[in-house]
């Protein structure tokens, strides 16, 4: 077990290049949990030096996504902090300084190779079926000579001078020690010819300057860990604890989600993008719970976790490095659990915008009244429209056939409605307990089943074959409207 005696300083370092997906949400969440649990600091760092892939809206989406999930950060853009700026695009000079320091100490070199030369090298290596790597042309150029060429205006990049012999051992908290032979490692570019540092250098410099204690990130960075460790060691900096999270696989467990599968999931009301999940009516509590359990578990049976529970129970020792298949059925399940856990008022506030978007004008009072009966059945917030729209309609409409229960004819159904109408008209109180006994009595005397009789009544009152519990719904709709709708139904059957 890892003793966490020190407050952790952790960072979520997204590149704003596209939609915020589950992988980012989980990385952010685990970092956040470790920070909160240890009384530490959660930093948001925007890694935006790749101008070609930069998408301005993506940044906005990240901020909104984090906010929606309830993951707040302590230092970062918009918040400040003593280790800023927290946008890599504002830190160019810092990276240049450290890159020069590596050249000075012999751990990096200026490289003047032209793109044409590099392309030729690549072709030759491909032809020889070698793994692609820099051929070392500029590795040994004396530093003074290189500087003279730079002053003369030659274009250059800065590359890391990877040792040619020996091996590098790195440690991943979940996977233990990993050793690679240095000869398979490349002289990676650290600074491009436009003067901008690449991720490998920028992130290591920032992690050092921002005093990061734990690097929790996606497993796609595991292959870069030897290079990252070489950079850190070249500077003689303290090594943070590295944790590379499991990869996400598509629901079948075979491979990653493709573009097509992502689009198909959306047709089913599911998505791997945070923004979509919000629009599809998922509650952030459900998404957080679901995401937390894709790569971490507390024990073999506890599944319900609020964000606060997670802060208390999360442990980096219980992270699982095995790939996790995305299971949308589980998402629906957790969403249902968390919807049922909301207070009536909270649920009312959350479903209201979905009804409004669908054109209804629901009052919060009515929504609070129906919240208890909605809760039991709502898979997602947007289902409120189909399930409970009838509460807010002046007129309901449905085909007359829907009123005809299985095994009955039109006249029988109409008669039943007339008898129900009589029973309800005489009631002074319109509550479930008052309505139910006379109607059950009617069912018994009718020779038909409760399913048949109440099915007809349900359609008459709600216009739907499926609805929240019938008597509770009638109570909310009120005697006048209910009787009016029954009257309309009787007419419809004429
Ligand atoms: N900017 C990198 C990404 O978005 C961050 C990787 C890291 O956390 O070191 O994947």
CA of residue 206 to ligand 1 center, whole Å: 12
Ligand 1 near 14 CB (within 6 A):
yes
End-to-end CA distance of the chain: 75
Ligand 1 near 47 CB (within 6 A):
yes
Q: pLDDT tens digits, the chain, 494 residues: what are they?
A: 555 668 999 999 999 999 999 999 999 999 999 999 999 999 999 999 988 889 889 999 999 999 999 999 999 999 999 999 999 999 999 999 999 999 999 999 999 999 999 999 999 999 999 999 999 999 999 999 999 999 999 999 999 999 999 999 999 999 999 999 999 999 999 999 999 999 999 999 999 999 999 999 999 999 999 999 999 999 999 999 999 999 999 998 888 888 888 998 998 899 999 999 999 999 999 999 999 999 999 999 999 999 999 999 999 999 999 999 999 999 999 999 999 999 999 999 999 999 999 999 999 999 999 999 999 889 999 999 999 999 999 889 999 999 999 999 999 999 999 999 999 999 999 999 999 999 999 999 999 999 999 999 999 999 999 899 999 999 999 999 999 999 999 999 98
Nearest residue to 459 via CA among 477, 486, 421: 486
Catalytic residue chosen out of the listed positions 259, 267, 361, 406: 259
Q: Which residues pair with 109 in a beta bridge?
A: 159
Q: How many residues does the chain have?
A: 494
What pLDDT is attached to residue 377? 85
Ligand 1 near 37 CB (within 6 A):
no
- Candidate from 11, 47, 219, 247 with most ligand 1 atoms within 8 A of CB, to mutate: 47
Write down all domains in the chain, each with its CATH number in brackets: 91-244 (3.40.50.620), 259-342 (1.10.1160.10), 343-392 (1.10.8), 394-494 (1.10.10.350)
Q: Which residues pair with 361 in a beta bridge?
A: none
- Candidate from 21, 221, 228, 241 with most ligand 1 atoms within 8 A of CB, to mutate: 221
In sequence order, the 6+-apart residues with CB closer than 8 A to the CB of 171 are 177, 178, 239, 242
Sheet of 189-191, strands arranged across: 108-111, 157-160, 189-191
In sequence order, the 6+-apart residues with CB closer than 8 A to the CB of 100 are none
Which ligand 1 atom is at minimum distance from the Cα of 203?
9
Pairing type for strands 167-172 and 176-181 reads antiparallel
CA distance 122 to 33: 44
Residue 226 CB neighbours (<10 A): 21
Question: If you take atom 3 of ligand 1, which residue's CA is the nearest one?
Answer: 14
Question: If you take atom 2 of ligand 1, which residue's CA is the nearest one?
Answer: 14
Q: Is 466 helix (H, G, I), strand (E, B) or coil?
A: coil
Give Cα separations from 374 to 135, 212, 360, 366 (angstroms): 67, 46, 17, 12
Asked if residues 341 and 286 have their Cβ atoms less than 8 Å apart, the reply is no
Which pTM was predicted?
Answer: 0.92
Is 491 in the active site?
A: no
Residue 119 main-chain phi, psi, to 5 deg:
-65, -40
Q: Is 361 helix (H, G, I), strand (E, B) or coil?
A: coil
Ligand 1 near 217 CB (within 6 A):
yes
Pairing type for strands 189-191 and 157-160 reads antiparallel
Asked if residues 318 and 37 have their Cβ atoms less than 8 Å apart, the reply is no
Asked if residues 31 and 42 have their Cβ atoms less than 8 Å apart, the reply is yes
**Cα-trace Rg, the chain:** 31
CA of residue 216 to ligand 1 center, whole Å: 9
What pLDDT is attached to residue 332? 96
Asked if residues 54 and 273 have their Cβ atoms less than 8 Å apart, the reply is no
Question: If you take atom 5 of ligand 1, which residue's CA is the nearest one?
Answer: 13
What pLDDT is attached to residue 50? 87
Tokens of 52: 């070609």
The tokens 């909605």 sit on which residue?
Answer: 374
What pLDDT is attached to residue 374? 92
């Amino acid at each position: 077990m890892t003793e966490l005696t020190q407050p952790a300083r952790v960072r979520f370092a997204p590149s704003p290049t596209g939609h915020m997906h589950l992988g980012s949400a989980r990385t952010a969440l685990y970092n956040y949990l470790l920070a909160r649990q240890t009384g530490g600091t959660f930093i948001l760092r925007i890694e935006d030096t790749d101008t070609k892939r930069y998408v301005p809206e993506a940044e906005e989406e990240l901020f909104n996504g984090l906010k929606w999930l309830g993951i707040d950060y302590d230092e970062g853009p918009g918040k400040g902090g003593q280790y800023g700026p927290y946008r890599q695009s504002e830190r160019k000079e810092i990276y240049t300084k450290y890159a020069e320091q590596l050249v000075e100490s012999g751990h990096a070199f200026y490289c003047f190779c032209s793109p044409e030369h590099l392309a030729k090298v690549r072709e030759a290596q491909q032809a020889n079926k070698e793994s692609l790597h820099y051929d070392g042309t500029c590795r040994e150029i004396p530093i003074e000579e290189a500087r003279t060429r730079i002053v003369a205006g030659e274009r250059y990049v800065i590359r890391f001078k990877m040792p040619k012999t020996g091996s590098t051992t790195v440690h991943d908290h979940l996977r233990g020690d990993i050793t690679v032979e240095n000869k398979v490692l490349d002289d990676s570019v650290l600074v491009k010819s436009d003067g901008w540092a690449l991720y490998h250098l920028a992130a290591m410099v920032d992690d050092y300057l921002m005093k990061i204690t734990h690097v929790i990130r996606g497993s796609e960075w595991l292959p870069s860990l030897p290079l990252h460790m070489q950079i850190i060691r070249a500077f003689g900096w303290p090594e943070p604890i590295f944790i590379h999270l499991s990869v996400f696989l598509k629901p079948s467990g075979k491979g990653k989600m493709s573009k097509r599968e992502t689009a198909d999931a959306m047709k089913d009301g599911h998505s791997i993008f945070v923004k979509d999940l919000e629009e599809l009516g998922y509650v952030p509590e459900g998404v957080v719970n679901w995401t937390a359990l894709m790569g971490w578990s507390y024990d073999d049976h506890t599944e319900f976790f609020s964000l606060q529970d997670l802060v208390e129970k999360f442990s980096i020792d219980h992270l699982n490095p095995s790939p996790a298949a995305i299971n949308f059925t589980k998402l629906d399940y957790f969403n249902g659990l968390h919807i049922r856990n909301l207070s009536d008022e909270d649920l009312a506030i959350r479903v209201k915008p979905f009804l409004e978007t669908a054109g209804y004008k629901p009052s919060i009072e009515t929504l609070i009244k129906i919240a208890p009966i909605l809760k039991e059945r709502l898979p997602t917030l947007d289902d409120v429209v189909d399930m409970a729209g009838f509460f807010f309609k002046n007129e309901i409409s449905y085909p007359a056939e829907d009123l005809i229960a299985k095994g009955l004819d039109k006249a029988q159904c109409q008669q039943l409605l007339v008898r129900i109408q009589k029973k309800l008209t005489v009631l002074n109180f319109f509550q479930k307990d008052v309505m139910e006994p006379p109607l059950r009595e009617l069912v018994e005397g009718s020779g038909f089943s409760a399913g048949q009789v109440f099915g007809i009544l349900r359609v008459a009152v709600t216009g739907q074959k499926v609805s929240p519990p019938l008597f509770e719904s009638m109570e909310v709709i009120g005697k006048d409207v209910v009787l009016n709708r029954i009257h309309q139904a009787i007419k419809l059957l004429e």
